[in-house]
Amino acid sequence: MSSACSLLPDHQRVVITGLGVVSPLGRDLESFWKNISAGACGISQLDCLPQDSQTASFGGQAKCFTGDIGDFGPLDKALQRAIKKNQKVMCREIELGVAACQLALHHSGLSDPSLRQPDRTGIVFGSDYILTRPEEFADGVKACMDDHNQFPMPLWPGTGRPQVNPLWLLKYLPNMPASHVAIYNDLRGPSNSVTIREASSAASITEAVATIRRGSADVMLAGATGSRLEPLRALHFATSEKLADEADPTKMSRPFGKERSGGILGEGAGALVLESLAHAKARGAKIWGEIMGGAGSAVCAELHEAEIDSIRIATSNVLRSLMRKAEAAGANLAPEAWHIHACGKSEPDHDRSEALGIVDCVGESGPVVTAAKSYFGNLGAGSAAVEIVASCLALEHRELFGLVAPQNIDEACAIRPATAGVAPGDWFVSLSYSSQGQAAGVCVRRFVSA
């Protein structure tokens, strides 16, 4: 596919020049691709949750990330000191996001500030809503307890609250990943944060692309971080969602499969460095793909008198929009020319709804469908960013990773499942959605110079 088919001028075409990932399958691109292309399982025994109070024993834990400064990638001494100093006001989700961004910047070759204009470089980054850990208030609560082991609330303002770290809130604000990265790297351009659960990654990338196309920046970082492995959040998901109950971790996450029994809790972050094609060409950058467009849809079932399938409708809305944008950019819509990277949560009802939304747009003989959650579960807001990195690498290596057990797809999910090693096509669509009916997606093509 020639990139010359686009009608946009080079300063409005947006390309991917850097990829960063922190995931259950690794935090460097080589390890990540080696693992996912080999069908490795990133679901393992959890050591980050108290097992005496949790129902989830296995999950997609990013054990490759310990919080050591080396986990943030190659950094000069000043940047190492800045990040280490501020880790005391970063919860794990924020650390994961900062690390993914630093890794992406390094991968793009733009970690050297002399290669970018600070006022023309920005960031749009997503996250889940981040819960404060109860431990933040433990000392204050203890200070208020009386002789009868009761907590008199009137004592809290004068006795309890002074025991709480005054900077505690900074550790949990969802805008902090973007703020930290912008400060560390002197990114003075547009900055924004997005918090719409699993739809956050694609929504962030879509906004970053729009920022470059309207001329407000030459370079943007975009992506998201997420974790469903914080203790209170894990308890919440265990009571509000269907989680997998298999004993074998390699069979726990089965998007669209007959045997799927529920989702898998996970954590991770992904980041992309986006540039205008003109800027990337001027510095001779390696290009990993071109963003043809992004789309979003929100469908609230509660607002309708008749029962509707909000996930199906939102997914089909997004996919149709992305197919139109890809066609307008000159992409080939023949089934063999592209693949769909589905959200694929492995939740029985949600998978069915997503599959119906896909079939509504492409029929049962459409492009092959894969889902990286097969390998590491649901990483929350960070999922789609990590999945987009995976599909970009598939385009680069010219082979696609398949679904777990593709030969055993649920009849109610009439998709064409991808098998390991099948050709990925020349472009792909990434789909993601939240349980509340918010969906988002992007379409990316392999870049071939004219």
pLDDT in tens, 103-152: 999 999 999 988 999 999 999 999 998 888 888 899 999 999 999 999 99
Query: What single string gives the DSSP state of each residue in 268-299?
Result: EEEEEEEEEHHHHHHTT----EEEEEEEEEE-
Contact at 8 Å (CB) between 329 and 445? yes
Q: Where are the beta strands (DSSP E) in 303-407?
A: 338-341, 368-370
Task: Read off the tokens for 427.
Answer: 């472009």
Question: Would the pTM of this model clear 0.85, i.e. be above it?
Answer: yes
Task: Read off the tokens for 149.
Answer: 């082991």
Task: Read off the tokens for 77.
Answer: 């001494």
What confidence score (pLDDT) does residue 305 get? 62
With DSSP H G I counted as helix, E B as strand and the rest as coil, what are the percentages for the chain, rounded to 5?
A: 40, 20, 40
Give the amino acid at 119. Answer: D
What confidence score (pLDDT) does residue 316 get? 98
| 3-class secondary structure, 170 | helix
The CATH number corresponding to 3-131+172-445 among 3.40.47.10, 1.10.3210.10, 3.40.640.10, 3.40.50.720 equals 3.40.47.10
What confidence score (pLDDT) does residue 108 get? 98
C-alpha to C-alpha distance for 344 and 97, rounded to whole angstroms? 22
Question: CB-based contacts of 363: which residues, under 8 Å, 6+ apart?
Answer: none
Give the amino acid at 413. Answer: C
C-alpha to C-alpha distance for 35 and 350, rounded to whole angstroms? 27
Angle, nearest 10°, between helix axes 383-397 and 200-213? Answer: 70
Residue 270: strand pairing partners? 21, 224
Q: How far is CA 167 from CA 88, 164, 174, 326, in A?
A: 9, 8, 15, 46
From the centroid of its chain, how far is CA 411? 28
Contact at 8 Å (CB) between 20 and 224? no
Question: CB-based contacts of 296: which residues, under 8 Å, 6+ apart?
Answer: 199, 202, 203, 206, 318, 438, 439, 440, 441
Contact at 8 Å (CB) between 235 and 265? no
Give the amino acid at 341. Answer: H
Task: Read off the tokens for 97.
Answer: 């996001």
DSSP H or E segment with residue 85: helix 77-86
Residue 289: strand pairing partners? 16
- Report the greatest alpha carbon distance in the chain: 78
What confidence score (pLDDT) does residue 180 get? 97
Give the amino acid at 307. Answer: E
**Ranges in the chain, pLDDT < 70:** 1-6, 53-54, 303-306, 450
Task: Read off the tokens for 254.
Answer: 């089965």
